């Protein structure tokens, strides 16, 4: 909130037990988020020496009326919550102060200097995870202290959430990938955090000789050796070559479903079909056949305009019911999780955790929105297969694909009369074709509940495939 003499420019929600009596005492700054590296708003209360994070919750078509005097066009909420200063300092400590002492001045970068915190305040906060040399005003990260401190955070949080993995997930939202990996090893925990997308394909090149050549391959670790254009061209050539080879002689039933879908994006979405599913071998053996192609897909999806990966499973006695299909679906996700090159193993959590908010399927540090289309669904169902009944389909959509197409944020609100956004238009299209899908009153729900929709199309009838 701006000065009392000016028109308010934002609405903050903050626990009055934590905030200063006068919110105008907040000192607002822009810092780099410790995990995402994106610009993030923070506030400092110098009286209590507390740093707060501001999380913006955007709401479409909304405004604020302030004290019956002002109209604030931006209807967003800024949720203000305390953040431990350690999380903001940890990236620098981890990168530069694990092996040797580092001066406090170096740790408090120009960006962090914006917090305007006294050195004594910072040093006192870092005592819990660092060794301090007061004479030289220098600091070194103590990994044993850090693990003890992190364990204490987890123990506190797990009293408020369902289990230890969920608590670890929440903390990992503020840790970089390398720190998360270290903590997983030390604490014997598995997290399921949304990470950045990998750009390398080294795992693919090592995996069972997937790329064969008689010529010796020389690798360069110096990115300046190659131009961006050369690298991008090489990625496209390699991807297209592999895609054309692996796509040969695979069923195209899903592409027919795409053409008839009521989704306005489906017809032009570019989806890659997995290798043909063989009926004379086991589920795990089929997954093994498809693993390399899925890794290729994940390795290139950031740079290549492709929207989904489809597994087509023959519809027969093994998928006689939606529950039968659910068991195969679970086994496929479990296999992929167990063979995740990034070793996140998102399925290695308690079954109940998968059915809760916050869990998401992740492979090779890519998070996926998964939907399924099977012959079980009637013509009035949004997951209807449009008469193509030979296969059950699993569609893996990388969440970055939605960002690439600039889709609007999810919302429970729909303009049914005059649809404006692409989301509105899609919902109206399904309704007009007699396949209206139910919309929850909130955007916060377990993704696992929508992976296999109930035949009744009633959201209360959850297909608990993960149990």
What pLDDT score was predicted for residue 207? 37
Q: In what order do the strands lie in the sheet with 391-398?
A: 271-273, 308-314, 391-398, 366-373, 361-363
Q: Distance of CA 244 to CAs 156, 240, 247, 270, Å?
A: 52, 6, 5, 14
Q: Is the dihedral of CA 254, 256, 259, 263 positive or negative?
A: negative
What is residue 463's DSSP assignment? -
Run of H or E including 81: strand 77-82
Cα Dmax for the chain: 77
Q: Is the pLDDT of residue 216 over 60?
A: no
Dihedral Cα 365, 284, 374, 449, nearest 10 deg: -50
Burial pattern 79-98, b for ≥16 Cβ within 10 A else e, equals ebebbbbbbbbbbbbbeebe
Measured CA to CA, the distance from residue 382 to residue 257 in angstroms comes to: 12
Q: Is the dihedral of CA 158, 163, 165, 169 positive or negative?
A: negative
Q: Is the pLDDT of residue 227 over 50?
A: yes
Measured CA to CA, the distance from residue 279 to residue 282 in angstroms comes to: 8
Multiple choice CATH, 8-83, 2.40.110.10, 3.40.50.300, 2.20.25.530, 3.30.1490.100: 2.20.25.530
Q: Calculate ∠ Cα 337-338-340, nearest 5°.
A: 60
The total number of residues shown for the chain amounts to: 467
pTM > 0.85: yes or no? no
Measured CA to CA, the distance from residue 399 to residue 397 in angstroms comes to: 6
Whether residue 361 contacts residue 333, with contact meaning beta carbons closer than 8 Å, is answered with yes
Q: Is the pLDDT of residue 36 over 90?
A: no
Nearest-CA neighbor of 277 among 312, 247, 243, 309?
A: 312
What is residue 314's DSSP assignment? E
CB burial of residue 314 (10 Å; 0-12, 13-18, 19+): middle
Whether residue 250 contacts residue 274, with contact meaning beta carbons closer than 8 Å, is answered with yes
249: CB partners within 8 A, 6+ apart: 276
How high is the mean pLDDT of the chain?
A: 81
What pLDDT score was predicted for residue 437? 86
Return the higher-pLDDT residue of 188 and 274.
274
Per-domain boundaries in the chain? 8-83, 235-450
The string of pLDDT tens digits covering residues 55-105 is 877 666 678 777 777 787 777 778 888 999 999 999 999 988 988 999 998
What pLDDT score was predicted for residue 231? 54
**Terminal CA-to-CA distance of the chain, rounded, Å?**
47
Run of H or E including 202: helix 202-206
């Amino acid at each position: 909130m701006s000065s009392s003499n000016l028109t308010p420019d934002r609405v903050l929600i903050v626990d009055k037990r934590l905030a200063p009596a006068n919110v105008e005492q907040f000192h607002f700054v822009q810092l780099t988020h410790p995990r995402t590296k994106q610009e993030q708003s923070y506030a400092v209360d110098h009286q209590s020496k507390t740093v707060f994070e501001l999380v913006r919750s955007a709401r479409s078509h909304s405004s604020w009326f302030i004290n019956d005097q002002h109209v604030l066009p931006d209807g967003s909420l800024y949720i203000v919550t305390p953040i431990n200063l350690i999380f903001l300092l940890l990236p620098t400590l981890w990168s530069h102060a694990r092996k040797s002492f580092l001066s406090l001045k170096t740790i408090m970068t120009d960006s962090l200097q914006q917090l305007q915190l006294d050195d004594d305040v910072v040093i006192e906060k870092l005592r819990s995870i660092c060794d301090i040399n007061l004479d030289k005003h220098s600091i070194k990260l103590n990994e044993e202290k850090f693990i003890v401190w992190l364990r204490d955070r987890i123990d506190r949080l797990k009293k408020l959430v369902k289990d230890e993995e969920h608590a670890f997930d929440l903390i990992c939202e503020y840790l970089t990938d390398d720190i998360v990996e270290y903590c997983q090893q030390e604490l014997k925990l598995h997290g399921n955090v949304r990470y950045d997308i990998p750009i390398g394909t080294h795992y693919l090149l090592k995996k069972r000789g997937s790329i064969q050549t008689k010529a010796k391959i020389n690798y360069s670790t110096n990115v300046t050796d190659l131009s961006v254009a050369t690298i991008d061209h090489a990625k496209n050539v390699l991807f297209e070559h592999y895609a054309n080879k692996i796509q040969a002689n695979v069923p195209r039933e899903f592409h027919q479903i795409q053409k008839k879908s009521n989704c306005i994006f489906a017809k032009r979405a570019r989806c890659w079909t997995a290798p043909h599913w063989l009926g004379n071998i086991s589920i795990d053996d089929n997954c093994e056949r498809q693993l390399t192609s899925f890794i290729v897909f994940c390795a290139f999806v950031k740079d290549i305009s492709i929207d989904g990966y489809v597994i087509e499973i023959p519809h027969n006695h093994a998928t006689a019911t939606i529950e039968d299909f659910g068991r195969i679906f679970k086994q496929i996700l479990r296999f992929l999780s167990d063979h995740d090159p990034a070793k996140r193993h998102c399925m290695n959590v308690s079954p109940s955790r998968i059915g809760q908010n916050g869990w998401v399927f992740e492979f090779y540090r890519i998070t996926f929105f998964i939907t399924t289309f099977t012959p079980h669904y009637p013509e009035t169902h949004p997951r209807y297969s449009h008469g193509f009944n030979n296969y059950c389909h699993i569609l893996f959509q990388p969440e970055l694909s939605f960002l690439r197409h600039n889709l609007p944020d999810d919302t429970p609100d729909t303009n049914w009369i005059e649809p404006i956004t692409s989301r509105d238009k899609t919902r109206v299209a399904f309704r007009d074709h007699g396949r209206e899908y139910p919309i929850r009153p909130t955007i916060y729900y377990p993704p696992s509940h929508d992976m296999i929709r109930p035949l009744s199309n009633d959201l209360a009838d959850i297909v608990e495939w993960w149990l």
